[in-house]
Amino acid sequence: MPDGTGAAGTEEFARLLSELKTRSGLSYGTLAKRLHTSTSTLHRYCNGTALPHEFASAERFGRLCRATPEELVELHRSWILADAARGRRAEQRAPETRTADLPAAEVEPVVEVVSAEPAPPRRRRTALIVSATAVALVAAVLVVARPTGWGGGGGQAKGDQQAAAATATTTTDSVTTPVAPEPLPTTPTAAAETTPAPSSATPPTPTAAPTPTPTSTDSGPAPLTVGTRPYVYADPCSQHFLVNSGPAQVGPPAPERDAPRWAAAYGAVSSGEQEVALTVQGTGTDTVVLLGLHVRVTAKGAPLAWNDYSMGVGCGGGVDAKSFDIDLDRGSPVITVKGGQRDFPYKVSKSDPEVFYVTAHTKAHDVRWDLTLDWSSGDRHGTVRIDNGGTPFRTSADVNRPGYDYPLGGGEWIKREGG
């Protein structure tokens, strides 16, 4: 099997995509239509001349081709390694025009894997364009950084308005002592569908919190990184959000890659269930042993009396992937395995990452929660805190709330039958 580094990593990723496509019997045109992209883009993915900027695109491709849970994990692993190699090539070519230095909203979703060294005049022009774009974006961020009353607030903490970003900070060598749950703000009792909200139908792009490098108090930085995707769509229909605004004040549904910005803009909270993906990778040559994953509830209250909005309609059954499960309604929630998922411990290194899917659900509460990951490497050990861009994850039960769908090809939210 290829080592997954450098060009070999890109070739392995392209090979996996091509095999899935061939086995599915679906044409490039059919896949492109269902993925809302172009056939030429899919051709470049499958022949190794382009790499998706985010794994979500490849994951949707894999699920449409009925990839097994094991194949999805292998696809994610090969994408991580190919993406890391792409970043190293970008640093070597033209540091002043690296797309990694731009905010996420300004980065093209498809990045060519191979490109010639630009001539000096072209490089200067590119730098000017990038600088102008950055200035314009900063101006936009200054306007939307504090959206007063955005989405009605409704008990959403100020920190929850930031865009979701992967984060991981370590504590001391002992397991973190749980803090006492903070009380939730009073939940509005009036039906959210009649609550006006001074928000635009199109969400702005809020500022994105940087992903800090995990640090350790024992003898330097922790030897691992944890990337977090806070809203994983098993399929678009699987993701619902609660929003404290009527349908006239809520913009169209967002694809997975834009879900953190959409949720932050409208103060949205995952409805009933939330699936989180964790990509854990070593930072050096030493192997890191992952000893266990734990859940910590920081606050629990009555479910939100808000409207339920679905991110998709007309979906088929999703893949019953391996994952870790959390019942947030339990008095002391714990993480259990489901779908054949193997329990801890696991081992990771720089060239051998692991991807974990965690599904938290509730039928009776509004819950704020985060995760801790215990690790050891040689004579070192520690605990990494995992949350949603510096704030806890938040999931609330949908208790007989009005529901809305956004039909394909439609231009407005339609109240769900029986909702």
pLDDT in tens, 143-157: 333 333 333 333 333
Specify the pLDDT at position 184.
42
- Contact of 163 with 265, CB cutoff 8 Å: no
pLDDT of residue 261: 94
Distance in angstroms (rounded) separating the CA atoms of residues 125 and 176: 50
- The pLDDT of residue 388 is 95
Mutual orientation of helices 28-35 and 39-47 as an angle, nearest 10°? 110
**CA–CA dist 246, 403 (Å, integer):** 11
Q: Which residues in the chain show pLDDT less than 70?
A: 1-7, 88-219, 236, 313-322, 419
- Return the closest-CA partner of residue 235 out of 4, 63, 79: 63
Positive or negative: CA dihedral 224, 230, 233, 234? positive
Strand partners, 171: none
Whether omega for the bond prior to residue 345 falls within 30 degrees of 0, making it cis, is yes
Longest dimension (CA), the chain: 64
| DSSP one-letter string for 153-206 | -TT--GGGGSBP---EEE--SSPPPPPPPPPPPPPP-S-GGG------SS----
**Residue 193 main-chain phi, psi, to 5 deg:** -70, -15
Structure-token pair, residue 141:
């961020």
Tell me the pLDDT tens digit for each residue of 368-411.
999 999 999 999 999 999 999 999 999 999 988 999 999 887 78
Q: Which two tokens stand for residue 292?
A: 């266990």
